[in-house]
């Protein structure tokens, strides 16, 4: 009897040590922190909840070159002291290789990307997408730019899927903000 109980311990220990683990999740910033970083001169914020129509979903897919992903979006609009729009921040999530990456994109009032911030990264590899040099590649681009890995956005070895998926998400958000700004009454 003692012998069979003893043989269970190594099996249980092996199962624990070899079980897949998602203990790599790191939260770097809150959405509030990202807003302040992306538009530091903003004195106030206006939240806008958007539900895209079927026509808008198709237009977004055509413009961004990737599926719209969602009908519902939350936009945070940065305003200056006079209430003028400085830009818009959108927080989104994409799957890296297996896990979600939460990021924020700032698009200025002219439709150019003001910056990209990684809020949470849950993958075991590829967190180098947080490096300022990689994220800086997006700054100044607009929805007319390719915004594609391997073209105008570098791919980081070991983070290929994270780079590609975040890049697609940034392109989608840049296109979304420009499309909504063009459709809104002046």
What's 17-33 look like in SS3?
Answer: HHCCCCCCCEECCCHHH
Percentage of the chain exceeding pLDDT 70: 86
Burial 44-83 (b: 16+ CB within 10 A, else e): eeeeeeeebeeebeebbeebbeeebbeeebebbbbbeeee
- pLDDT value of position 118: 96
Mean pLDDT of 86-114: 95
- pLDDT value of position 98: 86
- pLDDT value of position 185: 65
> How far, in Å, CA of 173 to CA of 84, rounded?
21
Q: Residue 45: pLDDT above 80?
A: yes
Entry pTM: 0.84
Beta-sheet pairing, 26-27 with 113-121: antiparallel
Of the candidates 120, 115, 160, which has an alpha carbon nearest to the alpha carbon of residue 141? 115
In this predicted model, what pLDDT tens digit does every residue of 58-80 receive, in sequence order?
999 999 999 888 999 999 999 99
> How far, in Å, CA of 27 to CA of 25, rounded?
7
> How far, in Å, CA of 131 to CA of 96, rounded?
16
- Side-chain half-sphere CA neighbours of 156 within 13 A: 21
**Torsion of Cα atoms, 176 then 178 then 180 then 185, to 10°:** 180
Parse the chain into domains and list their residue ranges.
23-183
- pLDDT value of position 87: 97
In this predicted model, what pLDDT tens digit does every residue of 2-31 receive, in sequence order?
554 545 445 444 444 444 444 467 889 999
Where does the pLDDT of residue 107 fall: very low under 50, low under 70, confident under 90, or very high at 90 and above? very high
Mean pLDDT of 41-64: 95
């Amino acid at each position: 009897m003692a012998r069979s109980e003893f043989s269970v311990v190594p099996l249980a220990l092996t199962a624990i040590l070899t079980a897949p683990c998602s203990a790599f999740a790191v939260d770097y910033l809150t959405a509030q922190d990202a807003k302040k970083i992306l538009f530091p001169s903003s004195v106030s914020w206006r939240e806008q909840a958007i539900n895209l129509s079927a026509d808008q979903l198709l237009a977004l897919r055509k413009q961004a070159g990737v599926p719209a992903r969602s009908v519902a979006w939350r936009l945070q609009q940065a305003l200056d002291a006079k209430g003028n729009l400085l830009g818009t921040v959108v927080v989104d999530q994409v799957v890296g290789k297996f896990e979600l990456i939460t990021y924020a994109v700032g698009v200025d009032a002219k439709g150019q990307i003001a910056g990209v911030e990684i809020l949470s990264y849950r993958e075991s590899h590829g967190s180098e997408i947080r490096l300022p040099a990689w994220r800086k590649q997006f700054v100044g681009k607009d929805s007319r730019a390719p915004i594609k890995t391997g073209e105008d956005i570098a791919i980081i070895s070991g983070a290929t899927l994270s780079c590609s998926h975040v890049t697609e998400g940034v392109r989608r958000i840049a296109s979304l903000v420009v499309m909504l700004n063009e459709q809104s009454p002046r």
